[in-house]
Chains A and B, each alone.
Chain A
Amino acid sequence: MRWMLLLVSLGAAWQAAAQPLGLPPVPIPEDNPQTPAKVALGERLFNDVRFSSTGTVSCANCHAAATAFTDGLPVSAGIDGLLGTRNAPTIVNAAYNATQFWDGRSPTLEDQALHPFVNPVEMAMPSHDALLEIIRGDREYTRAFRNVFGVRPAEIRIEHVTKAIAAFERTQIAGDSPFDRWYFGGEENAISDAAKRGFDVFLGDGRCVSCHTIEQDHALFTDHRFHNVGIGVNEMQDRIAELAKAFLIAKAEGIDVDVAVLSDADTSHLGRFAVTGDLSEIGAFKTPTLRNIARTAPYMHDGSLATLREVVEHYNNGGVTPADAPVNPYLSGGIRPLNLTEQQIDDLVAFMESLTSPQFEELVEPEPVAALGGRRGQQ
C-alpha cells in the first residue's frame, strides 16, 4: 500500500512540475520557443550586473528570486540608488499577463525587457549597443548565443537578448498553493476556516473576484485590465487637468513614456492614460495577480500600502485611504464602499495568505539596497 502512495505522490510531484495546480498552460509565442539552453542563457542575462552604467545593477536587483522576484521596497532603486516611481512587480506568473508593466505599456515579456536597460533610473545604459558590446566580448556568451540562436557575435541583436530573458521568465510560474490544493485539488484541510470564510468574502461582499478573476479549473487572479482604484491619483486630483494636458503635449512632442513615468511621481500616477491618451483611463493601473501576494509587499503601483490589511481597508473605504479622504472622480466603476466587518477583513487577509506557492512559503527578508537614503531620479 505504501509503495502505491509513493508512486502517486511522485506522480503528483511530476505533474506539479509539469503543470502547477491552479494554473493553465503557459502561453509560449511561436517565434520564441522554450529550450533549456535558451532558458539558462536568459537566467544568466537576468542576473548580469554588467548591463548597467555602474556595473552594479541587474534585473535581479529589483526582481530577486529569494523574495518572490521583488525587492520589498515601495518603489525600486536603480544605479546609484536612484529611486523610480513604481513598485517592482513580481516576475512569477508574469508569463500569463496580457501586457507588462503597471500601465501595460509593453505588449510582451520580450518587449518589456528592452526598457530597464536604458532607463536613466534603472540600469542607465547609454544604448542597447553598449550591452551588445559587453556580450560580444564575453566568450561564454558568444558561445551560448551561437548555440541557442545560431548567430555569430556580430549578428547578436538586442532581440536575442530579450528573447532569452523572456524564455527564462516563462519558467517562473508557481501554483500549488494551499488554496489551489483546497479549491481545485479537493483537499478539505489545505486551508484554515478563516481562509475559507475569506474566500466567501472574496467572491461576495468583497467583490474582489470580478477583477481578480478565477475560473472553473484555474485561477490567474487578474482580468488583465486597467482600473483606477484611487491610489496616487487621489492626492493629485486637483492637478489632473493641467497635468494631463501638459503630459499629452509633451508626448506629442516626443518624450519617451517609459522614461517619463519613472522619473516623476505625478506623471506615474496618470497610469494607463500616459500610454493611451484615453480620458477614461486616468489613474488606471493593471490588475496584478494575487498569487504569492503575501510575499510581494508593499502593495499598489507606488508601494504606498504596506500590508494586506491596509489594502483591504483601502477597498473597504471605497478607494480612499484614509476613509475620509475625497474620492477621485475617475474612480473605476467597480470600486465602492464595502461595509465589511473587522472579521471579514481578517478572513480576507487569511485567504490571500493562502495563495503562497510552496517555493515561497519561507519568508525571506529582502537584501538591503543602496536605495535607503537614495535620491529620486532626475532627468
Chain B
Amino acid sequence: MKIDRRGFLKRSGAAAAASVLPVSLVKLAFGQEQSAGQQDFTFAYISDSHIQQIRGAQFVRNWDQGLKRAVAEANLLEPAPDFVVFGGDLAQMGTKAELDHGAEFLSALRYPLHCVMGEHDYYLDLGEYWSELFGDQWYSFDHKGVHFVVLNSVLTYDEWTFERWESPERRMQEMAGLDNPNGSPFMVGERQREWLRNDLANVPRTTPIVVLSHSPLQKIYKGWNFWTEDAEEVQAILAPFEKVTVLYGHVHQIQYNQIGSIAFHSVMATAWPWPYPSTYAQSGAYVPVMTVPMNRADPFNERDATGWQFIDVHTGRAAVHYTLYDNKNRTVAYNAATGRPEDLEYQHPARRIPPQAHY
C-alpha cells in the first residue's frame, strides 16, 4: 500500500499535518490572501508547569514529567518554530529551587525563549528571582510584522500584596490555592496600563497585536481567579487595533472567545487540568459560549487533559494547535468569515462528542 503525498495529507489531517508541513497549508485551509508586509510564522507555547518541591531534591514527579514531555515534543516540531513562549506558573510555590528546576527543563528547548510571569512565580518574592532568570516582567517585541506584548497580569491590590500577610511564604501559600476565599483578584494595574498605552502609541492600527498574559484579560469566574479586575480597561487600550490576539494561561483548559476585535485563546497546562467553572454547582459561572470544552480528563493518565501548543500566525491572526495526550489534537483558529475563533473539528453542535459534555 503506497502512501503518496496527497494520501498522506488526507490521512493525517490538517491538525497533525501542520506539525510537519509548511505554514502555507494553514493558509490554504482558510483560502485567505496574504497581507502585504506580513509573513506567516509559527511559535510554540508551553505553560503552567507548576514544578513543585516536596523536599530537598525531590519534586512532584508528575509535574516534572509534564514539562519534560512538552519540551521533548516541542523540540520535534518540523519546520522549527521561530521561538517558544513559556506562559507562566513555572514554579508552584515560587521558590528558587523550583524555578531553577523548571528553568533547567526549559533550557533543553532549542528555540529562543520568551517568558510570561504567573502568580505562582510572583508572590513569594514579587518576581525578584524570576527576573534574574528570565528578565523583565512586562515588555514588548516585534516579530515579522507582528507586535508582541508581554504583561504581568497577576498583580493584585497593594493592600493584599504588601500589608495583609505576615510573611512572603504565607502570601504565596494564600495565592497558591485556586479556590481560596482569601485570595485576591488579578489585575494588570494602572502602572502597566500606562506603559501599554505608551508602548502601543506609535504602533499602526493595522499592525497585528499579540498579547501574552497569564490571567485571561477577561472576567470569567472570580472564585477561581479566571479573572482580570481591569479587563475592560485593558481591552479598551487594545480595541482600536484591527487584529488583536490574547493568549493566556492560568486556566489549565481550552477556552476561546471574541470580544470586539480581540480574539482570546487559552493555552493548556503541562501539569494538570482544571474543570470548567460551570462544573462548580455553586458558582453560577460559565465559559465563553463559543468554547467547545476539552475532553473531560481521565485521572489515571497523568497527562490526560494536559498539553502544549504551537501557534501559526497567518495574516496576523492566530491558529492554536493543541497537542493533547491520549486525545485527538485540536485546532482553534480565527475564522475570517464569522469573525471569531472556531474549532476546526467540533465547533458545530452536531459535531461535539460525549467527552466534551460529560462534565
Contact = CB atoms under 8 A, between A and B. Distances in A.
Interface of A: 114-115, 207, 210, 225, 227, 240-241, 244-245, 248, 251-258, 276-280, 282, 329-334, 336
B301 A257 contact: no
Contacts, number: 94
A113 to B, nearest CB: 12
A245 B78 contact: yes
B68 interface: yes
A245 B76 contact: yes
A86 B71 CA distance: 29
A241 B75 contact: yes
Contact of A255 (B3, B21, B78, B323): B3
A208 B172 CA distance: 38
A225 B76 contact: no
A256 B72 contact: no
Contacts of B12: 276-278
Contact of B1 (A114, A207, A282): A114
B303 interface: yes
Contact of B301 (A114, A115, A276, A333): A333
B69 A329 contact: yes
B306 to A, nearest CB: 8
B5 interface: yes
Contacts of A278: 12, 16, 19, 323, 329
A251 B62 CA distance: 34
B301 A332 contact: yes
Contacts of A252: 5, 8, 20-21
13 contacts: A240-B72, A240-B76, A248-B20, A252-B5, A253-B5, A254-B2, A277-B12, A279-B19, A280-B323, A280-B325, A333-B303, A334-B301, A336-B61
Interface string B63-86: 001001101110111100000000
Contacts of B329: 278, 280
Interface SS majority for chain B? loop
Contacts of A334: 300-302
Interface of B: 1-5, 8, 12, 16-17, 19-21, 61-62, 65, 68-69, 71-73, 75-78, 298, 300-304, 306-307, 323-326, 329
A159 to B, nearest CB: 14
B31 to A, nearest CB: 23
A78 B62 CA distance: 42
Nearest to B105: A329
Contacts of B3: 251, 254-257
Contact of A333 (B17, B19, B304, B323): B304
Contacts of B306: 333
Contacts of B21: 252
B303 A115 contact: no
A256 B2 CA distance: 5
Nearest to A255: B3
Contacts of B17: 277
Contacts of A207: 300
A332 to B, nearest CB: 7
Given A252-B8, A254-B3, A277-B17, A332 B76 contact: no
B326 to A, nearest CB: 6
